[in-house]
Structure formats: C-alpha cells, structure tokens
Amino acid sequence: MKVKGTPMRPIQPSADGQAVSIIDQTRLPHAFVLARLETLADAAEAIRAMLVRGAPLIGATAAYGVWLAMRADASDAALEGAIDTLAATRPTAINLRWALEDMRGTLAPLPSAGRAAAAFARAGAIADEDVAINHAIGRHGLAIIRDIAAGKNPGEPVNILTHCNAGWLATVDWGTATSPIYQAHDGGIPVQVWVDETRPRNQGAGLTAWELANHGVPHKVIVDNAGGHLMQNGMVDMVIVGTDRTTATGDVCNKIGTYLKALAARDNGVPFYVALPSPTIDWSLSDGRAIPIEERDAAEVTHVWGRTADGEVLPVRVTPEESSVANYGFDVTPARLVTGLITACRRMNDLGINQGSSGNASIRLPDGSGLLVTPSSLPYEAMQPADIVALDWDGMPTGPRRPSSEWRFHLDILKARPDAGAVLHTHSMFATTLACLGKSIPAFHYMVAVAGGADIRCSPYATFGTQELSAHAVAALEDRKACLLGNHGMICLEVTIEKALALAVEVETLAAQYWRALQIGEPLLLPEEEMARVLERFSRMRYGQSPD
C-alpha cells in the first residue's frame, strides 16, 4: 500500500541493511513515525508494546527478530533463547509460534556461520508469502462482494462492517479482512465500510479508518455497540473480520467484541465472514475454549489517547480511580456463527492440483479421539466449517454430512502412521496420468527423495472407497510420505495439512517433469548409492521435515 504516495510496508529491512524498519502503530493516526529495530530486544518490545500488531505482522516481526539475534550470536543456545524470548511476547496469535517454529526448522540444521544470512532470507520469504496469501484472500472475498453488488441498484454501495484492524497495517500488505475491500474499490465496485472503533486501543478508529482514508475508500467510524442497530435496519450487507487464531474445527479467536458482532449478524440474517490466512489455523486445537485469551494492561481501559485542540497527543482517564478493570483482549466466535472461511487453504484448486469436488483431506484430532475429514461431493468453494465430518477410530461419523467416500484410507493411514497429522488426496493432472499408466516415479531426479525414499510408488488399482484400496494405499506409503494410486490420483501425508499441500505440489511437479521426459525417451535414473546419499543429506538438513 502507499503512504503519502510512497509504497510502504509496516515492516521491511532498513535502507542500510543493518536493521528492520517498522511503522510505530502506537503513534497512529495522529503521527506517522518509523521506528528502527536493531536487536532481539527491540523486536520483542515492538511486539509486546504493540508497535506492531496483528497476527501475520507479529509473525513476520518475530522472524526478523530471529535474524537480529543471529547477527549478534548464531550459537544453538542463542537461537533457542531468541525463540523463547519472542514466543513469550504475545500468547494468543498463533502466527507468532508458527513463524518461530519455521525459523527454528530452517536454522537449526545449519552451521552457525550461515545462520544470519539464512535467517534474513527466510524472514523475507515469510513476509512475501504473507503478501501473496492476503492477495489470494482478497480474490476470494472479491467474488462475494461482487455477488452482493449484482443484487443492488446501479451505483448503490455494498455496505461492509468490520471490527478492529485486519488491514495492511496488521499484515505485510493488503490485509486480510480489508484485502477484498481494497480489491473491490480498486475494481470499481462501490463500497461503504462501517468501521467499529474497537475499544480498547481503538484499532478501528485509529488504524482501519486511517488506512481507508489513505486509500480513498468511503467509510464511517461507529461506536462498537452500533453494529446491531445497523444490521437491524438493513444497513449492513456483510460483516468481514480477521482472526488471531482459528481452530481446526473453525472456531475463530479475534479482537474482543467479534463474538457480539457474529451474534447480531446471525439474528439479522447478515453473512459473517472471516478472512483467514492458513498460518493462522491452529491444527492442534479443536475447541476454541482452549485458546489462551490475553489479559492486557488496565490502562488500555482506564485511559484513552487523543489529540487536543492545540495539537498535543495526551492520555486522558475515563474511569474513576477507585474502579478496578478487567481487560480481555480477545473472544471466540463458534464456527456455527461463521458464514464462511475465506481462506488460502482452498489453494489446492487454485494451484491446479485438484478440480471441482474431487480430492479430499483429513487431519488427526489433537485429543487422539479420531480425525476430521472433508465431506462427500461438496466443492471446496462451498464448504463451511460445520460441513467437516468427525470420525472416531471405528469410522463412526459425527455431523450433518456424509464423510468423503475415501474416508477409509484416511482413517487407516492415520492409524498406521503416528508421525502423520494430515492426509491429502488429489486428482492432479500429471500424477494421475502416471497413475493411469501404472507407473511409479523413479529416481530420475534427486528431489524424488522429498517423499521419503528412492521412488514414489504407484499402488495397484482398486475401486474407490473400498477397504482394498485402503490396504493398497497403506502399503504404498510404507516408509514414504507420498504415493500414486493406480488409475486414480495421489496421496500425501505430513505433520500439518499445509505441509501436505506443499508436498503435493512437489509431487505434481515431479510427475510433470517425469511425464515430459518420457515424451523424449527413457530418463537416466540415479543409482541407488546416490539416492542413499541424497536421503542421508536430506535427513541431516531436515529437508521437508517439521521441527520437533
């Protein structure tokens, strides 16, 4: 986005390459101030004191904080100390933990001499990935806004209510909840945004309104309790909010007050959407009540900051000095109140490795009681959290929908592979083409080892949904993380569904390369001893592996 005509991110490397430059969000909207982070302590304090805030931006700042730490001391002890220091700054936003685990997995296998450079590169990649994810969220949300606009009179705006700040200031660019709004506005769709002030800290009035004003998006700031009135009177077409953590079953933790907006939306038939980047999903939790809720400084409630008539920015007390205060930072909106999760997890179809309602996915329930699996014959674009089916280890389903017809191999694979937390099945073009030829993917390229062995096996054919197919899949996956299914497709398993998706993209790429090589001739295969060396190096590098 642009500030005063200049492209700007809320976090980026400094011009001299020796620090990180951030927008000090505690000074907005009354002053635009850049702060310089030079040390691990600077990064930790910036997160703790909310100079940077918003789950995605917290994660990116933590990643750069690890880089700052590695510049000073790249030892194993310093790496773990930096991760512990940053992890303690904010308990609720899952992106913080996600980014730190990602940095640990990247840096721990490396010698200390290479860690600072690798940390800088990975932090930059995390920031760039956030931009891409949020732009994709905007595309999904834009389709919803466009549909609402089509039912309105020409020139009549789509009225959108949002809570807190889930804009580009809370991310690295675009924002989550604001990304569809910006893309609609830029695309010529009239929009009018109701901006909740969002007490305490007033992130709506101070940050979201500042963003929208800079971008030229029509908006009005309202008090937090006005949303229900607007909905009752037909003045809100949709609600869209961000999230700091979302459970595997779709419970949404966001800024305090979000739950009340969801209740009002449900009572008035207003669609309530959550703009959800995939790193914000906590696959280890199935119940939002288990999310730790941050309790913050009482001064955020007892005082407000504002600019006086003579231009001074001062805090003013608004409560009696004798009154005690409770300041809960977040609440949880149950999945049943969420109209839809606008999420980059639908990237399986966007990436072209799946089509329509084919393919399916599952995750292991964190309490060990079974698994969650996608429902039968429902396109991902239409799928909602309530549609996901829970299965116990006997295959007994819970929920209003039938599980995927392939639930048997999801259940049997997760039973057989305690190292796996998620299973992904696709009908991708090239992997399926090879599967229809009954061909495994041999060691034509060293990256075949990413699936855990010297080849990617192809199982025999069996009818979909049968126990016979499940047995073939389990056998083909022995000591592997991916296989092809004869005349069918592919299966990938990993610790998380995001990593399973990343592996599926790798396997599809290898399948495409192998198929193209076969059009010219028979590819040269790497010898067994070379693949053994590759696998050993992958093991030492922890290539493609999740941190412990």
DSSP tag of 445: S
CB 401 within 8 A of CB 375: yes
- Strands of the 281-282 sheet, one edge to the other: 281-282, 245-247, 252-255, 330-333
**Looking up tokens 């005690």, which residue turns up?**
324
CB 515 within 8 A of CB 509: no
Amino acid at 103: M
Helix, strand, or coil here: 486?
A: coil
Catalytic: which of 237, 244, 251, 282?
Answer: 244
Strand partners, 219: 193
Long-range contacts of 391-398 (CB under 8 A, 24+ apart): 393/369
Q: ∠ CA(360), CA(391), CA(272), 5° rounding? A: 65
DSSP tag of 56: H
**282 assigned to active site:** no
**Looking up tokens 């239409």, which residue turns up?**
382
**150/159 Cα distance (integer angstroms):** 13
**334/207 Cα distance (integer angstroms):** 26
- Quote helix, strand, coil % in the chain, to nearest 5: 45, 20, 40
Please give the C-alpha separations between residue 7 and each of 11, 27, 235, in angstroms, as whole numbers.
Answer: 12, 19, 34
For residue 152, what are its two tokens? 């309105």
Strand ranges in 381-437 using DSSP code E only, listed in sequence order: 389-392, 397-398, 422-426
CB 222 within 8 A of CB 198: no
For residue 96, what are its two tokens? 């913080």
For residue 147, what are its two tokens? 């549909």
**Looking up tokens 């077409």, which residue turns up?**
237
For residue 58, what are its two tokens? 């917290």
Please give the C-alpha separations between residue 235 and each of 239, 290, 411, in angstroms, as whole numbers.
Answer: 11, 35, 47
Strand partners, 414: none
CB 473 within 8 A of CB 460: no
**66/119 Cα distance (integer angstroms):** 7
For residue 114, what are its two tokens? 């290479």
The per-residue DSSP string of 249-290 comes to T--EEEETTHHHHHHHHHHTT--EEEEE-GGGEETT-S-GGG
Which among 375, 343, 382, 342 is positioned nearest to 359, based on CA atoms?
Answer: 375
CB 182 within 8 A of CB 137: no
Reported as half-sphere exposure (CB side, CA atoms, 13 A), residue 483 has a value of 24
- Would you name the residues annotated as active-site residues? 244
